[in-house]
A and B are shown apart, each in its own frame.
Chain A
């Protein structure tokens, strides 16, 4: 069930592993304990801030040089979309999104069960120096929406979230409360925060607190 990718007649240079168990094994996302489905069921109908966890997705950290043609074209071929090279931007196609993180780093988010296949595909398609790391277990995405989502962001981060400075599709990593988040505006009033697993509970508390004056609605 697991394998080390070793091109014919070559020493295995990198250990690649399908890390997903069978469907019978219970998965616990970083906010599993918050029982957000139950909260969603007994929610108030209205509120200024809507929150849901986009959980158990596949997260791959890509590192490589934009000067490496094989890397750029290989990524585009496998992901179905070119890596964004414009700083602080993202691209999205179907169920795959790619966030620019630095000139040589991107975060690919895709359905959880595709992470292994895509990693293998990338490794088969790319030559030269690069890295692909599966970080799916280490982070999750919180989606904030609603008319007051922007106010919650203003309480949490020093980023300028005004539409003129933070248009749809923009991505920026920054301090978020006393943790960090990779913030992306996915639509006019929808924001995605990529956060680290170990900080998820803190940020969950923080966001509940920051949303309280506007009314918080949990979505499943």
Chain B
């Protein structure tokens, strides 16, 4: 198809660069510089979608972010699908593939159309609430159907191949909007020496100037803008971000900018390039120069393709060289829109009439239009439109001075395009994001930004200032003010010469009356994307939804991807009129981030796949990888879980690891345990206050197990702390609890006991820690260490010694989490791998077996050793754990948790207490989390006694074992409890001591 609406010359497109694109499966041509919308209009494509509820054909109405209808699905391949792309904001590139989002199966011939027309009557406001809520069980069925029919676009079904990222920025002044005001503000601030970022959502800076025929300083406005842009681009501390939408304005002048870096080049970003970038900006000052959106008027059938906003028509003509029709009728409440009639007439196409709602409009542009011989019908309005897939004509009637009723005869005019202008609505969205409410201004007939707590300035259209000379002046003023507030000497930017246009007073009119009452008149659309009509708003208010927030939710006005940019103010005005209130009394709904839809990719940035979350590794990780370890996540650490040999199941590997450790020697990488170096003369006293047990008498060279509680007396961490010197200790914590424990120590030191002389330093990463455990561990160690006397009577259980292991200085701790003879070897992490490998060189003859966290869990459970966080859950005291031996009440100073532990609730006899559990069937392994009951045949809900916290198959014992909490369990030894499972089985278990193996601890004392 030829570009039948394309002008031979003019506009900012490059006619030497023809581009081919596909819309709804058909190929079209456009030019470099086109938006998808301008290219579609050039090709005479009228219908870009079907409406949400009534399935009415819809065309392009606007030229920017406010476009409600031309919301397309873009993407040539499955992986590059992007939903909800505004055709008005998508630059055309060669090979672009897009299709209408709405319309099932196609926008041209919609299967829903018939249903829609009938369904329209069935779908009044509140439709979802009234119709689809009951029966509730059917909602999922309804929803699928509605979603498919409504067509909200779709996400790709395969991974997006492109990369997105985030970047942090700081500046003195962030200027939002690169139009006349924004450019002047940025230039003035930058010339004053400020660090400036200027962002604009379009591909070129200039905003409205790019489609204007005004002159600045004797030059075409766009040329003037280009000169300013050149100057800004040369300044080192100015960052210019085109194609970048400032989407969110958050507290403390934190703003998010969504930059589309390659969406204009191709479907997929060129190799090595980032497709979209989210800039996270901290700005000392923000200048909002966001401009204004033109309001369409609300009249009968105002959604028929061919109905457009007046300024958008001018933009298509002046910027893109596209006339979106042949015969224009323009309806306006103001002078500004007359320019559209002049622009249209200049293309050589027909302006049928300008219909002005004012009785006696006076102004320069009106005179110019009349001089061209264009018919101007005053005191009148287009009350409805004829046509289905394209406007074919309009009905024009005279109206009263208030615009409330049609007063005279209605005449018919034949045309294919209706441009309307009800004035302009300042783009106040960003200023509202931080909680500021906009303020109605009668003079400009719109909301302007209200008071704010942010360091925010505004300039130009956002203030309702539309005359170009005043817009430029406000830009300079904002730039100077920002500079001087920053303490800079504000540069004085000369204002260029601009001709002032004499204008008459606009009329405050939103909803055009009809000869019929609103409820009977042809549909008068307020919100195109959600099919909200004036009649619908009237109905909502009649049904009692009088708050504007309720009207919004009842009618769906302002929802959707456009968030009511075009229709909201009209909707509020209609609500106010029906309620007999003023617009300020009616108020606005709340604007929230984001201003326009943003892809998840840009939010996520690089925090995906391998970089989703840090993976922490020990110094021996490579060995684990090379030896086939399966890994378990413990916090962010990747810890070996178990080391299967070829052909082994997990259970077989665990059985082998468990047996080898108890029979000969196993080795565990324990580097991930938290380690905190504690120095200072009060270190010992501090330990006594944070642990429940006593530390006063722990001698140099000795180790002790400790329990740590929070104030409520509940256990939160445990570990072994060793006395390295009289004023020097090293504390170990659980792997997951390391950071929390260090913070806890600092918190108490800094806030409660700052007088104690003690310092804490994390040494978790500094030491590589390997534990050799089993009856042959001494023999193995003796082969690699000749400077420590390993004799059982000189290096006893719970001692530590300094020495050399495999040539590396080491601290060796004789502590045990398995109940076996064990040595924990600590060396500086840079040498961890060397020592680990040497242990294996010498360990082969002892069948040195690496084991992971799972075998560690089994071996410690055989001994009844708890794991904080598994056998405890923040509701368990040391007494509940049967660990009163680890609580000392003879300390001179109190300790954290002491008071909590003696609360009435904590000394109840029927508290859940930790016990061992032996299933009656020794082959049955209880699931962790299973709930115990006394009588499995009682009716549901059963009376639950506690749950299984740890449960394993023990190869060493040849049976299943478990730990769990049972109400009053310490006094129920030998009794049975029952675990009814989800699969119908019931496992009976005997309550027993949690120590299943070597109750006297002889194995670790050899």
Contact = CB atoms under 8 A, between A and B. Distances in A.
B768 A137 contact: yes
A131 B759 contact: yes
B342 interface: no
Interface string A108-140: 000000000000000000000111111111110
B273 interface: yes
B807 A198 contact: no
A137 B802 contact: no
A27 B832 CA distance: 9
A158 B618 contact: no
B606 interface: yes
A11 B787 CA distance: 22
A137 B765 contact: yes
Interface centre among B610, B611, B767 (most CB of A within 10 A): B611
Contacts of A56: 830
A198 B768 contact: no
A121 B827 CA distance: 22
A124 B583 CA distance: 79
Given A63-B759, A133-B679, A198-B616, A1 B809 contact: yes
Contacts of B274: 213
Interface in B253-283: 272-274, 280, 282
B727 A14 contact: yes
A107 to B, nearest CB: 11
B807 to A, nearest CB: 5
Main secondary structure of the interface of B (DSSP, over half): mixed
Interface string A11-54: 11111011111101111111001000000000000000000000
Interface stretch (B142-150, B163-171, B298-306): B163-171
A117 B116 CA distance: 86
A214 to B, nearest CB: 10
A191 B838 CA distance: 37
Given A205-B610, A213-B273, A15 B724 contact: yes
A96 B766 CA distance: 20
A78 B618 CA distance: 33
Contacts of B169: 154
Nearest to A24: B807
A19 B280 CA distance: 44
Contact of A136 (B679, B700, B766): B766
Contact of A19 (B615, B616, B809, B834): B809
A20 B828 contact: yes
A73 interface: no
Interface string B71-86: 0000000000000000
B757 interface: yes
B617 interface: yes
A119 to B, nearest CB: 12
A144 to B, nearest CB: 16
B764 interface: yes
B927 interface: no
B680 interface: yes
B728 A14 contact: yes
B725 A198 contact: no
Contact of A18 (B607, B725, B809): B809
A189 interface: no
B803 A2 contact: yes
Given A13-B726, A13-B728, A137 B611 contact: no
Interface in B151-196: 165-170, 195
Contacts of B616: 198-199, 202
A65 B700 CA distance: 27
A138 B807 contact: no
A26 B808 CA distance: 10
Nearest to A26: B834
Given A15-B802, A158-B168, A178-B613, A212 B829 contact: no
B614 interface: yes
Interface of A: 1-2, 4, 11-15, 17-22, 24-30, 33, 56, 61, 63, 129-139, 151, 154-155, 157-160, 162, 164-165, 177-179, 196-199, 201-203, 205-206, 209-210, 212-213
Q: Which 5 pairs show the lowest CB-CB distances between chains A and B?
A: A138-B765, A138-B766, A137-B829, A131-B679, A15-B724
Given A2-B803, A201-B615, A201-B617, 6 more contacts: A21-B809, A27-B830, A27-B831, A135-B763, A198-B765, A210-B606
